[in-house]
A and B are shown apart, each in its own frame.
Chain A
Amino acid sequence: MSAMAGGIAYFVPAAQLAIESTGQVLRVTPSPSDTSAPTASPSAAAAPTPGAFTVLLLGSDDDSKFSSDHVLTQSMILVRIVPSTKQVTMLSIPRDLWVPLSTGGSGKVDGAYSYGGAGAAVATVEQNFRVHVDDYIWIGLLGLVKLIDAIGGIDVVTSNPVLDDYYPADIYGNSPYGYERVAVLGGPQHLDGLHAMQYVRSRHGDLQSDLGRSQRQQQVLIAIRQKAKQLSAEDLPGIAQALGGELKTSMSLTKVAQLLPVASSFDNLDAINQIILATPYTHGCGCPETYINGNWGLILPLVHQYFP
């Protein structure tokens, strides 16, 4: 019994995180005025795949510029997992995409979370992309840094040098509105949490701005998944301590437990579809502080092909 007590004490941080972070109530509210939302292609209907589910991944800069839970979601990735065929599809939603928001009015899609939390973000995505989202996972920027450090860093082939003269100095800097210069050089390398965050967050030096950043975010997500396969149950308390307060999900503890073996069974990286909504799916300059418009006549058939 005392051995069991020692074991329980060891896993307390993991249990605490599991209880605090999982099973968040997801209230999806339909948009009060949904007239401009696009309609799905009628030919896209397909028979549901047993066991398949869709998760919306949300990443936020949760620094002191924002009050807690009124943050923008700089990263929004729809992930569909089909356990029976071991297929994964990741679709990055451009943060600057101008859409009708579920909370009313129109705005950039990244603002939905700040107006109505995860429920509004999920509802906005569901209504505009005509998909059903089963669950969401939200992680703060600092949580991403700590998570990657807790798993010992990740290996990434950075496609190009990411050089940014106006990278936000809001995580470790003195002023949340300040800027700093960052340089993540190109090629295969082992990234710690800080440099991985710089790699996925920088967008000023990328002609594709948020779209280029979305590609990098997908690279890092896959790298994290690869590294996570090496973890053991005994690693969970350390990771839980690192993530404290920086992770929320609507998934229940039971579902998370069911997913772990499924996640570890995906070995073929080529079976992961990575979709970026670049031209011709979206248009607009995508420059910082501006917005881009969706070509919904092209987006919806694409979305319904991969997210039936």
Chain B
Amino acid sequence: MIPRFILAVLLAVVMVVVGITSFIYLGTRTSKVAVPAQKPTVVAPRAQALVLPGTLYIAQSGAIYSLSAGRFHQRSAEAGYSQPSLMPDGSLLVVKMSGYFSDVYVLSRFGTPLRQLTNNKYRFGMADPSLNHWSFYPRVSPDGGTLWMTYDGLKCDGCYDVSPAIYSMPLGGNIRQARAWTNGGYYSGGDQQPIPVAGGVIYTKYDYASSYDANQPNKLVGMLWFTNRAGAYGRELTSPGEDCRSPALSPAGNMIAMVCTYQKQESFLTIASWNGSSMGPRQNIVTDQLAAQPTWAPDGSGIAFLAPGVADGPFQLWWLPKEAYTPAPAPPPPTPTPGGPHNGPLPSPKPPPPAPPVKPIEVTTNSGFDATSPMAWLG
């Protein structure tokens, strides 16, 4: 017979174990909404063996990653890097955020810092933080000679306006050589995301919708604009009601992808033709996701974009094959039945079964990419 004392101790131990187990069990039943995003290198793209062409550069938590042959590689330290774009030689232009300022750097395609192209830190102490500058969204001209960027070079005295505008400067030159192409607006968020094109530059202008259309609310919106020379007023490519931003030019230069939010908490992936001076009708190709940063594949096979993997979650990488937004070729006309002339109406051909709709494919599932950072795609 077990002594009563030992029985009591055993019972107490069981009670403690059951109590702790139930405590731990409840802890495992949390919703996982706050699980931190993982580095993309931790988990490869999904098991569908999706391999995107070329090398895609993408930013997360201040580091640049590359995706090639279905595998991610971390190309830089988590040191405030984002907004990669390509140089003609395959190296990368990036922005490095450093507290009160940001600068443009050149990284090798393997992530090694090569050059610092701007120096936006105020050099004479930190008395007034507004004396520092921001550089965002760097791009280089196709010939590699001109750096384009968003830059808050115009400082107003005695006001609070921060007015980033589109600037160009010789690559490797001094900021004093920089030229303002736009005026950056007034208390609006300014002009952002320059895309140098033949004959000018496309960019996103943030401004009050009511300034363009009396029927629009007094609300800040994004619009794609185009200007063909420094200092010219430029003109709207999209309307205030469409509320578009993040332009991306197709490899052939005849299509523009963008995101349009229609002044709501939604974001459509939209494409339109581009003839060098104006845009054609819009085609909304993704309408049920919070799409950001569309980027054309260099071989024209589709568009990558960022969007949450689950509702209200961190942004993942998605891939939309070309077939999703390009109409299928028309079926060939019916051929006459062999065996001589046919009198009377031809039999109507049986229509082919409709092709299943092509949906976006989720490439990553548990990353947390920077949705304000464009991606760069090397062919």
Given contacts A6-B23, A166-B130, A204 and B160 within 8 Å (CB-CB): yes
Q: Closest residue of chain A to B32, judged by CB?
A: A152
- Interface assignment of B55: CB less than 8 Å from any CB of chain A: no
Q: CA of A207 to CA of B208 in the docked complex: distance in angstroms?
A: 10
Q: Which residues of B contact A151 (CB under 8 A)?
A: 33-34
B245 touches A155 (CB 8 A): no
Residues in A with CB closer than 8 Å to B153 are none
For chain A, residues 123 to 166, give those with C-beta under 8 angstroms from any C-beta of chain B: 149-157, 159-166
Q: Chain A's interface: helix, strand, loop or mixed, by majority?
A: mixed
Chain B residues 311 to 345 lying within 8 A of chain A, measured CB to CB, are 311-315
- Which residue on chain A has the smallest CB distance to residue B22? A6
A: number of interface residues (CB 8 Å): 59
Least Cβ–Cβ distance between B243 and chain A, in angstroms: 8
Known: A163-B152, A165-B160, A207-B186. A155 touches B26 (CB 8 A): no
Least CB distance, A98 to chain B, in whole angstroms:
21
Residues of chain B lying within 8 A (CB to CB) of residue A166: 129-130, 160
Q: Tell whether B74 is near chain A: CB-to-CB under 8 Å.
A: no
Q: In the complex, are the beta carbons of A181 and B313 less than 8 A apart? A: no
Give the interface centre of A1, A157, A223, A269 by most chain B CB atoms within 10 Å.
A157
CB nearest neighbor in B for A236: B30
A235 touches B30 (CB 8 A): yes
| A232→B187 contact, CB < 8 A | no
Given contacts A159-B220, A205-B161, contact A190 B33 (CB under 8 A): no
- Determine if A231 and B31 form an interchain contact, defined as CB atoms under 8 angstroms apart: yes
Chain B 296-323, CB within 8 Å of chain A: the 1/0 string?
0000000000011001111100000000
Contacts A161-B164, A232-B30, A234-B29 given; indicate if A153 touches B314 (C-beta within 8 A).
yes
User: Shortest Cβ distance from A52 into chain B, in angstroms?
Assistant: 25
- Known A10-B26, A207-B187: A152·B162 in contact at CB below 8 Å: no
Whether B188 and A152, one on each chain, are in contact in the complex, defined by CB atoms closer than 8 angstroms, is no
In the complex, A155→B312 CA distance in Å? 5
Residue of B nearest to A212 (CB): B220
B34 touches A157 (CB 8 A): no
> A222 an interface residue at 8 Å Cβ cutoff?
yes
Known: A152-B313, A188-B291, A207-B208. A6 touches B21 (CB 8 A): yes
Residues of A within 8 A of B26 (CB): 6-7, 10-11, 234
Using A7-B26, A151-B34, A159-B219 as known contacts, say yes or no to A187 and B372 having CB atoms under 8 A apart. yes
Task: Determine whether the beta carbon of A181 is less than 8 Å from that of B20.
Answer: no
Partner of B19, one of A2, A179, A188, A232: A2
In the complex, besides A186-B189, A230-B33, 7 extra interface pairs with C-beta distance below 8 angstroms are: A10-B22, A149-B34, A159-B221, A159-B243, A164-B162, A181-B99, A235-B31
A binding-site residues for B, Cβ under 8 Å: 1-7, 9-11, 149-157, 159-166, 179-181, 183, 185-190, 204-208, 212, 215, 219, 222-223, 226-227, 230-232, 234-235, 238, 269, 278-279, 288
Interface residues of B (CB under 8 A from A): 14-16, 18-23, 26-27, 29-31, 33-35, 97, 99-102, 129-130, 132, 134, 136, 152, 160-162, 164, 186-190, 192, 204, 206, 208, 218-222, 243, 245-246, 259, 261, 263-267, 290-293, 307-308, 311-315, 368, 370-372
